[in-house]
Structure 1
Amino acid sequence: MRMLGVLGGMGPLASAEFMKALTLETPAERDQDHVPAILWSDPRVPDRTAARKHGGEDPLPWLLRGIRGLEAAGCGAIAIPCNTAHGWFAEMQAATSLPILHIVDAAAADLRRQGVTSGRIGLMGTTATLDMRLYQERLGIECITPGDALMQSHVMPAVGLVKANRVAEAYAPLAEVARRLRAEGADAVVLGCTEIPLGVAAGPALEFPVVDTVAALARAAIAWALAERDRAG
């Protein structure tokens, strides 16, 4: 089986959580049953939201540097546990022959796993992810998003708390936003920033279906790895 490449560091805790999920979700009885993986965790990648929203430094050269490193290591596919980085998905995929597992496709698969195939989906993410319409245009289900006021008062500060390792403090604002989306008619809520599931997991479980995009991407990576194993005989 070829290595899975993980292009991470955006942020570091989300990447570490992805590696944990990759391990816990794999059907394994021994070390050798797990997915061989290489984590390229580079927190120096410029801020993706600042690049899209405020003309900040372009992260693409840094993303491509990571992809080249994973190619050189012999990886067979790449997973990127950062939703906003998928705003550069087309450019990254064009720069490599390796398949890049799209996090929105992983989220869609997780919705199907939970029996949610229609209706309305609550969508939480960074302002850049929502503005780029990464989910709205690829998910295939109507999305409800938080208003600008909630994004500025709750979601983005909570994402910052997780990045600052103040994870427990992020729970209350994130849970409030998710419950508001549910009250507006969402059948499930997609946690479309890989910091958000970490904050939501720091408190009592929400009372409705949610998609943890970190875990969803890990399951997609496992599916790729198992298919590779089958092809290898």
Structure 2
Amino acid sequence: MKDAIGVIGGMGPLASQLFYKMITEHTAAECDQDHVPLLILSDVTMPDRTGAILDGKYDAPYNRLMEDAKFLEKYGCTAVVVTCNTAHFFMDMIEHELRIPFISMIRESAKEVASLHPGSVVAVLATDGTVKAGLYQRALEAEDLIPWVPDADIQKEVMYQIYDRIKKGLPCDKASWQKIEDACLEAGCSRVLLACTELSVIKNDEKLSDWYIDPMEILAKRVIEFSGKKYQ
């Protein structure tokens, strides 16, 4: 497939489906051929990324992501993206071994927030693995933003939404989400980054306000622009 963007997805499937929908709906197109060519690899058997980071056992997800990225590279993709924030911990190790660019959802999101809200306090709602690895904290600080991460009790609510609700095909627990939102407000956050693609599903399903910034939406925009298409 000529000039395709390679997408490593399946982490989880609902998020990958939403990403494809975002790209399709936001590409200015009058016919099929005007859309972005994508080669989507839904690797649902990918080992758990958060568990690997917390346990310090990186080999399984690292090797699988390397295999997937090389597969997409081999089949002519012009760039690769990953629809999982936590997986970026491993992709940061892998990208220098690829011959095609890796478009980082995390770096692009930090740049976008900095352009809209310079110097602001930004909440990071993410998996324990993403938080522990400091992926968004470092990216935000590099853009002169102030990251805020939840305390242990609120972080449990975030993990509950990700693993016990969305990954199990269940809707957002609204009472739990209200606790999360209240904590972000009390911390004085100007914006909230939904730094896990399962949380992107919640934003879409619950029609959350623009106070919540979805990194997957930002990545979709970058993919459209990288492909030489117009974002609408």
Same fold flag (TM > 0.5): yes
Report Cα offsets for 1:93-131 as digits up to 9, x if no partner: 022111000111221244256x22221111100011011
1:94 aligns with 2:69: no
> Aligned partners of 1:175, 1:5: CA distance in 2, in Å?
36
Q: 2:148 aligns with which of 127, 144, 165?
A: 144
Contact 1:7 1:40 in 2 (8 A): yes
> Which residue of structure 2 lines up, in the alignment, with residue 157 of structure 1?
160
Taking the TM superposition and a 5 Å limit, the aligned residue runs for 1:58-137 are 58-111=60-113, 115-137=116-138
Contact 1:124 1:146 in 2 (8 A): yes
* Alpha-carbon spacing, 1:120–1:10, altered in 2? closer, same or farther (3 Å): same
> Which residue of structure 2 lines up, in the alignment, with residue 13 of structure 1?
14
Contact 1:162 1:170 in 2 (8 A): no
Q: How many residues align?
A: 224
Paired residue type of 2:152: D
Partner SS state of residue 20, structure 2: helix
Report Cα offsets for 1:77-102 as digits up to 9, x if no partner: 01111000000123220221110001
1:34 aligns with 2:41: no
Q: 2:214 aligns with which of 207, 212, 215?
A: 212
Contact 2:110 2:136 in 1 (8 A): no
- Percent identity, aligned pairs only, is 29
Contact 2:154 2:180 in 1 (8 A): yes
Q: Is there any run of 5+ residues in structure 2 with no aligned partner, and where?
A: none
Q: Is there any run of 5+ residues in structure 1 with no aligned partner, and where?
A: none
> Aligned partners of 1:134, 1:155: CA distance in 2, in Å?
17
* Alpha-carbon spacing, 1:210–1:75, altered in 2? closer, same or farther (3 Å): same
> Aligned partners of 2:18, 2:207: CA distance in 1, in Å?
18
User: How does the TM-score come out when normalised to structure 2?
Assistant: 0.89
Q: 1:221 aligns with which of 223, 227, 232?
A: 223
Partner SS state of residue 74, structure 1: coil
Contact 2:193 2:212 in 1 (8 A): yes
> Aligned partners of 1:210, 1:194: CA distance in 2, in Å?
13
Contact 2:65 2:91 in 1 (8 A): no
Q: Per-residue deviation at 1:66? A: 0.7
Q: Per-residue deviation at 1:7? A: 0.8
> Aligned partners of 1:142, 1:92: CA distance in 2, in Å?
27
Partner SS state of residue 84, structure 1: coil
Partner SS state of residue 158, structure 2: helix
Contact 1:170 1:200 in 2 (8 A): no
